[in-house]
Amino acid sequence: MIEIEREELKPVRAVLVGLAENRTATDPNPVHELESLASTAGLECAAQIVLTKPADSPRYGVGSGKALEIKTVALECEAEYIVFDFEITPSQQRNWESLTELTCIDRQELIIRIFAARAMTREAALQVELARLEYALPRLSHTYSALSRQRGGRYGTKGSGESQLELDRRSIVDRIARLKVELKQVRQNRSTMRKRREKKPVPSCAIVGYTNVGKSSLLNALTGARVLSEDKLFATLDPTTRRFILPTGRTVLLTDTVGFIRNLPHGLVDAFHATLEEAALATAVICVLDASDPALDVQYETTLRVLREVGTADRPLLLVLNKVDVCEEFTRSRILREYPQAILMSAHTGEGFTAFASSLETLLAGDLRQYLLPLSRPDVLARIHREGLVVSSRYEDDGIVVHARTDGALAASLQEFLDETNT
């Protein structure tokens, strides 16, 4: 038997270029997040270069001397990619690839590639394709740089490359228009499903947070769902809703949403607006943070900013610090001092699940109120048990005295019932 030795595939190496202004007090490495993105996309970090600030240079976005320095580093470490943590224009991308003869992409294209690899459902695939085409449209001339030099005929006429460029541009524009129509239909279907859920008195909670903080793992551990969960950024893109039973037997819907990230490309923010609507229309929001991440404060600020953008600033919020099982005791004490209202949890060990369920029930129950119900209407008391949180109840001669926590919808309905009863 002849044994054939297979040569191991070498990892694709990349030089990462970041900005010093992205440093924070808790995370001094400004390329930390870009390195995680690159790893998720299958790129190995060969070298990191941190720029003090981008130069006002239309050719490369940096000075010519710094551009040559980046080229030298990339050649020395045998990199195949140069990845920028800031946006580069189509012309700058062409100039960089002409200078280095390597593939040069920015943060936006890197995230689009990750989203494209993660898209599983029809909605996610449509959203990613739309974002990719809108990003690629102004960069088409870069693809046909060789053909555009094939000018034929008399002076001033178009060559074959330019003709193909215009045909492809028209094709992409038409495809973008069709994708927007298809996405509109998908969102209408999602809206119909949401209205069906709203007809039933079941509260909903959106699980939101930075990417890779363990949102899907928490949903799986709490509800027995089988959502894909990996130690990678943007492991899941589609919202998944599962039922969760609270200690009193009340049912709540938990929805896992797409992860947030600093400087998410605007095209993807628009494309995944339907996904973020789950947070905007939820009864309450469960904000999950990674307790073991040095950039915990940045995660929290980014999440709150995105929540304000989608209109959830007025929603009740439960703060959860996940992955406490890998935190040292000193770190636990520090984050408890900084976030005293948070619930410490671990999707891996189950720590904090009881406290989470109790806190979520109190959050959804609303304010503590007193009601005097007619003795002939025990069904109303049963409803408060189902949809609220009864603290105490006693039967007296003039009615049933109930102390219960009720949210806005239930409280308004009960007040209307009592007003009609008294009149």
pLDDT tens for residues 41-63?
A: 889 999 999 888 766 778 888 88
| Res 146: pLDDT | 41
Q: Where are the beta strands (DSSP E) in 80-183?
A: 81-84, 103-106
DSSP string of 356-378, one letter each residue: HHHHHHHHHH-EEEEEEE-TT-H
CA distance 91 to 85: 17
Kindly state the DSSP code that residue 210 receives in the 8-state scheme: B
Find, among 65, 50, 52, the residue nearest to 18 by Cα.
Answer: 50
CATH number for region 12-115:
3.40.50.11060
pLDDT at 418: 83
Q: Which residues pair with 103 in a beta bridge?
A: 81
Instruction: Please give the pLDDT value at position 3.
Output: 44
Q: What is the DSSP letter of 383?
A: H
Contacts of 225 (CB under 8 A, 6+ apart): 219, 240, 242, 256
255, 209 contact by CB (below 8 A):
no
pLDDT of residue 152: 42
Percent of the chain with pLDDT over 90: 15
Helix (H, G, I), strand (E, B) or coil at 235: coil
Q: What share of the chain is helix, strand, coil (3-state, %, to 5)?
A: 45, 20, 35
Which ranges constitute the DSSP H helices of 160-214?
160-198
How far is Cα 224 from Cα 292, in angstroms, rounded to an integer?
24
**What residues does 396 pair with on adjacent strands?**
399
**pLDDT-derived band at 227, boundaries 50, 70, 90:** low
3-state secondary structure (DSSP) of residue 63: coil
Instruction: List C-alpha distances in Å: 38 to 75, 81, 195.
Output: 19, 10, 39
Strands (E), 1-139: 12-19, 43-51, 81-84, 103-106
Mean pLDDT of 103-127: 80
Count CA atoms within 13 Å of residue 328 on its CB side.
Answer: 3
pLDDT tens-digit profile of 62-95? 888 899 999 999 999 999 999 998 888 888 988 9
Considering the domain 201-364 in this protein, what is its CATH number? 3.40.50.300
**Which stretch, 112-116, 272-276, 341-345, has highest mean pLDDT?**
341-345
Region 203-228: mean pLDDT is 81
Lowest-confidence segment of 150-164, 260-274, 276-290, 352-366 by average pLDDT? 150-164
Domain ranges of the chain: 12-115, 119-146+161-199, 201-364, 366-422
* Distance (Å, whole) CA 244 – CA 386: 14
Helix (H, G, I), strand (E, B), or coil: what is residue 236? coil
Secondary structure letter of residue 20 according to DSSP: G
Predicted confidence at residue 223, as pLDDT, reads 84
pLDDT at 158: 47
Q: Which residues contact 382 (CB under 8 A, 6 or more apart)?
A: none
Mean residue pLDDT across the chain: 78
Please tell me the CATH code under which domain 366-422 is placed: 3.30.70
The 8-class DSSP code of residue 58 comes to T
Instruction: State mean pLDDT over 99-103.
Output: 91
Amino acid 313: pLDDT: 72
* DSSP letters spanning 48-68: EEEESS--S-TTTSS-HHHHH
Q: Which residue has 């870009």 as its token pair?
A: 34
Confidence (pLDDT) at 267: 59
Tokens of 340: 């005293």
Highest mean pLDDT among 84-88, 124-128, 191-195 belongs to 84-88
Q: Quick one: average pLDDT of 188-203?
A: 66
pLDDT at position 383 is: 85
For residue 96 the two structure tokens come to 């960089």
Question: Is the fold of 12-115 the same as that of 201-364?
Answer: yes
Q: What is the pLDDT of residue 81?
A: 93
Q: Residue 396 pLDDT > 70, yes or no?
A: yes
Token digits of residue 201: 């008195």
Task: Provide the total of helices (H) and of strands (E) in the chain, helices listed first.
Answer: 15, 13
The pLDDT tens digits of the residues spanning 359-371 come to 998 888 777 888 8
Q: Please say if the pLDDT value at position 214 is more than 70.
A: yes
Whether residue 6 is predicted with pLDDT greater than 90 in this model: the reply is: no
Which pLDDT belongs to residue 356? 93
Residue that wins the pLDDT comparison between 276 and 240: 240
